[in-house]
Amino acid sequence: MTYKILITDDLSPQSLIKLEEMDDVTFDVVRGLTPEALAKQIPEYDALIVYSTVTVTEAVFAAANKLKVVGRAGVGIDNIDIKAASMRGVIVMNTPGANTIATTEHTMALMLAMCRHLPQAHTSMKTGEWNRKVFVGRQLYRKTIGIVGMGRIGTRVARRCQAFGMEVIAYDPYLSDDVAHKLKIKPVDLNDLLSQADFISLHAAHTEQTANLINRENIAKMKDGVRIVNAARGGLIDTDALVEALKSGKIAGAALDVFIEEPLAKDSPLLELDNVILTPHLAASTIEAQRDVGTQVVDQVLDALRGKDFRNALNMPIGDVDVLKTLQPYLSVAEKVGSLHAQLADAAINRIEIEIKGREVRDHIKPITVAILKGLLSPVLVETINYINAPLLARKRGIAVSETQGLPTIEYPNIISCRVAWDGGEQTMAVTLFNEDEPRLVQMDKYRLDVRPDGVMLVIGGIDIPGFIGHVGTLLGKHNINIAAFRNGRDKPLGNTLSFLRVDADVPDSVMDALRSLDSVVWVKKVILD
Ligand code: MLT
């Protein structure tokens, strides 16, 4: 099989050489694509590699019939419509780590250049001036820096600031006290950071929660004369509010590498201000970072296309292929229980509760839940359901999914129990593996079972009277339908029964009706499992 990859920017020469050496890959580099042009090109490609300059919209994904992977050479994924990718079952991955040092060093460069007016002094000298008085700077030593976002880059900026003798305070809702202690930084809430910092450096992703984080209200809480560095994303700052504060002197200086719109508009008020220094989204642009980002994205995309590994996938429940392999039989039986539920429910399912017990499965609730959803949605939706789009599609259909405890199911060393509900009814099933990889349905509602969920199956709710199995067997035999397996559960002798019959051929509607007319049969349904 040959994979076709579209690359929309200049990848490093090393990564292109790597691609050229592959027998199972062809690739095209097409620069400067608009989303419309990309949508036209994309149908023939299996994978797409982009930097931040190309926007991968919903329309691009809608046109992408063959696309399996989008590799983002870099970290920020705000140029990719992840939701649309997930809906189409396309994996999106980025390359965290590869440009961390470059961005960290650029942040320090911006901070120092801002404090010592390096760009202004340089420009002045180029015009023949020798002006020592105008460019008197400020030191970093003994100043407090407030870092917003203590991920890879924020953490490294903190260390370098400590080396300059700065006190580091940080706001990050996910930062544990333990890690903060190890890093020798003080975790604070956002208001404290704003009111205590002499410098503020932004290292957060641009999300709905962080958009316009530096706005008028938050600027008012800052120290007078604060200085701001942004090498993360332009959308973190309300530009109008920043310009106002830079003009009034509330903010003494800003060093910006990123902007809401890139390239920055030629009439941007930021270009008019002397207390701002600007670079054109250069933080990750070092030879080393570009080399590493390029080779990393190529390796990741190739591994994903070949099904070897999905590391750094942002919209997959499981990225480690070894865990995936070990868990595969459980994922498979989880899919089956989802499918059984969908096919046996009396109406559209609107609630799912999942309980997972046992050493082999308990740490994997997320992928197992996704597998159940995949199985549950596949019989009812015409779209292709996979591990990427299943949670989104379930949410779209208003299905509430939750983890629960204490479902009334039997004990097995490793067991996946699942109760689903619809308007007016509910049903509970439990599945496990026998002999490590043989899927078994071991319970449905009050009935204990031992059913291999596979192929065409008849599920019969009946009455436990003498001759029941014989009546069903005779009727199917009369229609030349061979029974491969017959498993029966009952609540008590001569009470109610639940039977699962695996049959070797499809069962026509006329035979289903004939089964329903048997005295001992209360209801019968046909399910088909892969
Ligand atoms: C990143 O998100 O990796 C950097 O901002 C560099 C880039 O966008 O190209």
Distance 281 CA to ligand 1 centre (A): 8
Q: Fill in the DSSP letter of residue 69.
A: E
* pLDDT tens column, 474-492: 999 999 999 999 999 998 8
**Nearest alpha carbon, ligand 1 atom 9:** 52
Between 354 and 205, the more confident residue is 354
- Is-contact 43 66, C-beta < 8 A? yes
Looking at residue 393, its pLDDT comes to 84
Q: Return the percentage of the chain with pLDDT > 70, whole number.
A: 99
Low-confidence winner among 276-280, 323-327, 523-527 (lowest mean pLDDT): 323-327
Mean pLDDT of 210-220: 95
- Going by their DSSP bridges, the two strands 25-29 and 3-7 should be labelled as parallel
Q: Is 233 a catalytic residue?
A: yes
Distance 75 CA to ligand 1 centre (A): 5
Mean pLDDT of 147-154: 93
Total residue length of the chain: 530
Side-chain half-sphere CA neighbours of 121 within 13 A: 15
Give the nearest ligand 1 atom to 285 CA: 6
Looking at residue 384, its pLDDT comes to 67
Looking at residue 271, its pLDDT comes to 98
Query: What is the architecture, at CATH level 2, of domain 100-278?
Result: 3-Layer(aba) Sandwich (3.40)
In SS3 terms, 422-466 reads as ECCEEEEEEEEEECCCEEEEEEECCEEEEECCCEEEEEEEEECCC
- Looking at CATH, the fold of the domain delimited by 317-407+414-438 is given as 60s Ribosomal Protein L30; Chain: A; (3.30.1330)
Looking at residue 270, its pLDDT comes to 98
Strand partners, 353: 402, 419
Q: Is 262 a catalytic residue?
A: yes
- Is-contact 414 360, C-beta < 8 A? yes
Domain 100-278 in the same topology as domain 3-96+290-315: yes
Query: Domain boundaries in the chain?
Result: 3-96+290-315, 100-278, 317-407+414-438, 446-530
For the Cβ of 269 lying below 6 angstroms from any atom of ligand 1, the answer is no
Specify whether domain 446-530 bears CATH 2.40.50.140: no
Q: Return the percentage of the chain with pLDDT > 90, whole number.
A: 78
* pLDDT tens column, 84-109: 898 888 999 999 889 999 999 999 99
Distance 247 CA to ligand 1 centre (A): 29
Looking at residue 321, its pLDDT comes to 67
Mean pLDDT of 421-448: 94
For the Cβ of 51 lying below 6 angstroms from any atom of ligand 1, the answer is yes
- pLDDT tops 70 at residue 382: no
pTM of the model: 0.75
In angstroms, the CA 447 to CA 120 distance is: 80
Side-chain half-sphere CA neighbours of 14 within 13 A: 12
In angstroms, the CA 415 to CA 430 distance is: 7
Mutation pick for ligand 1 pocket among 281, 290, 293, 314 (CB with most ligand atoms within 8 Å)? 281
* Active-site choice (44, 262, 272, 403): 262
Q: Which CATH superfamily is domain 3-96+290-315 in?
A: NAD(P)-binding Rossmann-like Domain (3.40.50.720)
Mutation pick for ligand 1 pocket among 95, 99, 152, 259 (CB with most ligand atoms within 8 Å)? 99
Looking at residue 319, its pLDDT comes to 67
Buried-exposed string 100-116: b where 16+ CB fall within 10 A, e elsewhere: bbbbbbbbbbbbebbbb
CA neighbor of 148 nearest in space, from 94, 83, 101, 212? 212
For the Cβ of 231 lying below 6 angstroms from any atom of ligand 1, the answer is no
